[in-house]
C-alpha cells in the first residue's frame, strides 16, 4: 500500500455550513464507504496478471467484477484464485443471473454490442457498470507536419500487438497531398521496425484467433492495398497493411478493425475531417498530428472522444494522472490512479454534530415566521470553515 492509495481511503473534509443542523460544532466529510486498504496487498499479484488498470479497482470493497479477456489462459485466474479477496469474482464467461445479484459494481471491456448486453443484464439488479468498449479511433494528419515523424509514431501504435489494442488508430484522415508524402514514410517506418520480412520479425504479433484472422483477411479486399496485404493462415499472420481509396461505406470503415490494417481516407480540409469524425460514433481515442498547436487545439475543442493525444499515440492511457475511459458508444466510467478508486467506491456523505444545543433548532421547527425564514436563508449560504457559530 503506497502513500497515495492510503490517502484515497481517508475521509475528505468538505467544509461546513450553518444550514444542515444549526450547531456550533459541525463536521462534514465524504467517507469512501466499503473500502479496505489491506485489500490492495491481496489484490497486488492478481491485478498485475489480470491487467486490471490500477489498484484503484481493488481498493474499494464494492464487490466489483473485473472481466479478463475470453482469450486469457484459463490457468491464470485459477492460479491466482487464492489471492483474490472476498467479494471479487474472476471469470472468463458472462456472469450468471445469480452472480449479478451479488455484484455492486461491474467493469467490462469489449465491443459496443457486448456492452449493451452487459448493461441490460446489470439493469435488472441496478448494478452500476463501467464499460470500456473501443470503437473506430480517428487520426487526423495535417498538411503542416513532418511525414516521417508522423509515420514513425502512427506505425508504432497502429501495428503494436498487431493492431490488437482498443486505442489503436482505426483510420487516418489527411489531404491527398499529405497521403502521397505519408505513404513512403510509412513504408520506411514499417521496414525499420519489422525488417524486410515482417512475418519473421519477433517484434510483430500475430492474430489471436482463427475467427479474427478470417475477419481481417476479408477486410483486405476493401479499397486498394498500398503497403503490405500479405497473409498466412497457418501462422495467423497479416502483414502491416495500408489501404488507400477506401470508401466510407466499405466494411473496413464500418467496424473496429482490431488488426494491422490502416486505411488512409482523403479529406480536403480540416473542416471536412472534423465533420467526418463528428458524423460517426464517439471514439475511445482520437489523435491529431500537426506542427500547428492551433490545429491540434481545434480538433480537441470541436470533437468528442474518450481520450485525446496531440502529436503522439495512446500514451495518454499510460499515465495514472489522466483518466481512461470512453464516452457514448465507446463506453462509460473512467479509471487509472485515483480515478479508479473514485469509480469503484461509493463516496458516502457524512455529517456529525453535537447532541446538545437543542434550543437553536427552534428556528427550523414550526410554527414558521418571516423572521425565522430570513435567518434560515442566511444560514443556507455556504461557509468554508471548520466550524460555524450561529
Catalytic residues: 132, 166
Q: Rounded to an integer, what distance in angstroms lies between the CA atom of residue 268 and that of residue 175? A: 5
Residues facing residue 285 across a β-bridge: 307
Q: Rounded to an integer, what distance in angstroms lies between the CA atom of residue 183 and that of residue 172? A: 11
Hey, is 189 helix, strand or coil? helix
Q: Rounded to an integer, what distance in angstroms lies between the CA atom of residue 135 and that of residue 327? A: 11
Other CB atoms within 10 A of residue 77 CB: 18
Q: Rounded to an integer, what distance in angstroms lies between the CA atom of residue 145 and that of residue 150? A: 7
Which grid cell is 57? 479497482
- Biggest distance spanned by C-alpha atoms of the chain: 88
Q: 137 φ, ψ to 5°?
A: -85, 120
Q: Where does residue 106 rank: exposed (0-12), middle (13-18), buried (19+ CB within 10 A)?
A: buried
Report CA dihedral (317, 136, 156, 181) to the nearest 10 degrees.
Answer: -130
Residues facing residue 243 across a β-bridge: 225, 263
Amino acid at each position: 500500500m503506497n502513500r497515495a492509495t492510503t490517502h484515497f481511503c481517508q475521509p475528505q473534509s468538505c467544509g461546513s455550513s450553518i444550514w444542515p443542523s444549526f450547531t456550533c460544532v459541525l463536521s462534514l466529510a465524504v467517507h469512501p464507504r466499503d473500502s479496505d486498504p489491506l485489500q490492495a496487498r491481496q489484490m497486488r499479484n492478481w491485478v498485475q496478471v489480470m491487467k486490471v488498470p490500477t489498484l484503484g479497482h481493488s481498493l474499494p470493497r464494492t464487490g466489483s467484477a473485473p472481466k479478463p479477456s475470453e482469450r486469457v489462459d484459463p490457468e491464470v485466474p485459477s492460479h491466482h484464485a487464492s489471492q483474490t479477496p472476498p467479494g471479487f469474482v474472476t471469470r472468463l464467461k458472462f456472469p450468471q443471473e445469480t452472480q449479478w445479484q451479488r455484484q455492486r459494481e461491474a467493469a467490462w471491456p469489449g465491443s459496443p454490442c457486448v456492452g449493451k448486453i452487459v448493461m441490460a443484464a446489470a439493469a435488472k439488479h441496478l448494478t452500476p457498470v463501467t464499460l470500456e468498449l473501443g470503437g473506430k479511433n480517428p487520426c487526423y494528419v495535417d498538411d503542416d507536419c513532418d511525414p516521417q515523424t508522423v509515420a514513425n509514431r502512427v506505425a508504432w501504435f497502429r501495428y503494436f500487438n498487431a493492431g490488437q489494442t482498443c486505442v489503436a488508430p482505426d483510420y487516418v484522415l489527411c489531404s491527398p497531398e499529405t497521403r502521397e508524402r505519408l505513404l513512403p514514410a510509412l513504408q520506411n517506418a514499417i521496414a525499420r521496425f519489422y525488417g524486410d520480412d515482417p512475418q519473421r520479425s519477433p517484434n510483430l504479433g500475430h492474430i489471436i484467433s482463427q475467427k479474427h484472422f478470417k475477419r481481417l483477411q476479408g477486410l483486405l479486399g476493401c479499397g486498394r492495398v498500398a503497403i503490405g496485404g500479405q497473409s498466412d493462415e497457418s501462422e495467423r499472420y497479416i502483414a502491416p497493411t495500408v489501404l488507400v481509396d477506401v470508401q466510407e461505406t466499405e466494411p473496413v470503415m464500418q467496424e473496429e478493425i482490431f488488426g494491422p490494417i490502416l486505411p488512409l481516407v482523403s479529406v480536403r480540409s480540416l473542416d471536412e475531417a472534423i465533420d467526418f469524425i463528428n458524423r460517426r460514433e464517439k471514439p475511445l481515442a482520437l489523435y491529431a498530428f500537426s506542427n500547428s498547436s492551433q490545429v491540434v487545439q481545434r480538433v480537441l475543442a470541436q470533437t468528442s472522444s474518450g481520450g485525446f493525444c496531440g502529436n503522439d499515440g495512446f500514451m495518454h492511457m499510460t499515465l495514472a494522472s489522466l483518466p481512461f475511459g470512453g464516452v457514448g458508444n465507446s463506453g462509460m466510467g473512467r479509471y487509472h490512479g485515483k480515478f479508479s478508486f473514485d469509480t469503484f467506491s461509493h463516496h458516502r456523505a457524512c455529517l456529525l454534530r453535537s447532541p446538545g444545543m437543542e434550543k437553536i433548532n427552534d428556528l427550523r421547527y414550526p410554527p414558521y415566521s418571516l423572521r425565522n425564514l430570513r435567518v434560515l436563508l442566511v444560514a443556507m449560504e455556504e461557509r468554508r470553515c471548520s466550524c460555524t457559530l450561529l
